[in-house]
Amino acid sequence: MDKAKQIRLFDRQAAQYGRRKEGQTLRRWRRDLLNHANGEVLELAVGAGANFPYYPGGVKVTAADFSSEMLSKAREVAAGCRLDADFILTDIEGLEFPDRSFDTIVSTLSFCSYENPLRVMKKLRRWCKPEGSILLMEHGISSNAIVSTVQRMLDPLLFRAIGCHHTRNIPELVRQSGMVITRSESHMFKMVHLLWAKPGTS
Ligand SMILES: C[S@@+](CC[C@H](N)C(=O)[O-])C[C@H]1O[C@@H](n2cnc3c(N)ncnc32)[C@H](O)[C@@H]1O
């Protein structure tokens, strides 16, 4: 799918993301992850700003997304929770920052969408300060044979409908990127992974 089409798909989903009331479990996962954010934060593929209410005080967030509709929802949420945030309308796969720019890098539910997720993961490592943290909540292929078979069957359809793959092997991507995991949790037949990581040495 070309990028313009993928952006239109997410633009069309923005209103729904903005209205969505998330369940208690997802809210707890976001809180547990975001609790560890500090300093200069980069949030990739911020969507409608679902993480914003969970940031501790004192952070400065740079939030990026390629959907202008998502960013406009995220701006409203940031204003509502008085979060100090700047917004960049950009394709993260083409984005560059100097190495070691951020204390914390956050990505939730975004690695399903990139054309080359490993390349983005490697960028995260470069952009994060050596003592900084990379906080991820990502979904991908389950380790359960029945669930993963269904995921593989539905993947082409879901990618066309919502612009997001359901077959990414998140633990393997993280391993290949060279990040160092300090804590991890897997949920829902190991489809959802919460990862607290350090960039590791290059
Ligand atoms: C499934 S939503 C997740 C939003 C948010 N992170 C959350 O946890 O609710 C995926 C988001 O990634 C954005 N996105 C996908 N691919 C992108 C890319 N290559 N560059 C920038 N944003 C991207 C979409 O516009 C959308 O807002």
| Domain layout of the chain by residue ranges | 3-198
pLDDT at 18: 83
**Does ligand 1 lie within 6 Å of residue 70's CB atom?**
yes
Homologous superfamily of 3-198? Vaccinia Virus protein VP39 (3.40.50.150)
pLDDT at 202: 66
pLDDT at 47: 97
Q: What is the Å distance from ligand 1's center to 46 Cα?
A: 6
**Does ligand 1 lie within 6 Å of residue 102's CB atom?**
no
**Does ligand 1 lie within 6 Å of residue 108's CB atom?**
yes
Q: What is the Å distance from ligand 1's center to 66 Cα?
A: 7
> How would DSSP label each residue in the chain?
--HHHHHHHHHHHHHHHHH----HHHHHHHHHHHTT--SEEEEES-TTTTTGGGSPTT-EEEEEES-HHHHHHHHHHHHHTT--EEEEE--GGG----TT-EEEEEEES-TTT-SSHHHHHHHHHHHEEEEEEEEEEEE---SSHHHHHHHHHHHHHHHHHHS--S---HHHHHHHHT-EEEEEEEETTTTEEEEEEE----
User: What is the mean pLDDT of each successive set of 10 residues along the chain, which is 202 residues long?
Assistant: 92 90 95 98 98 97 98 97 97 97 98 96 97 97 96 95 93 95 96 96 74
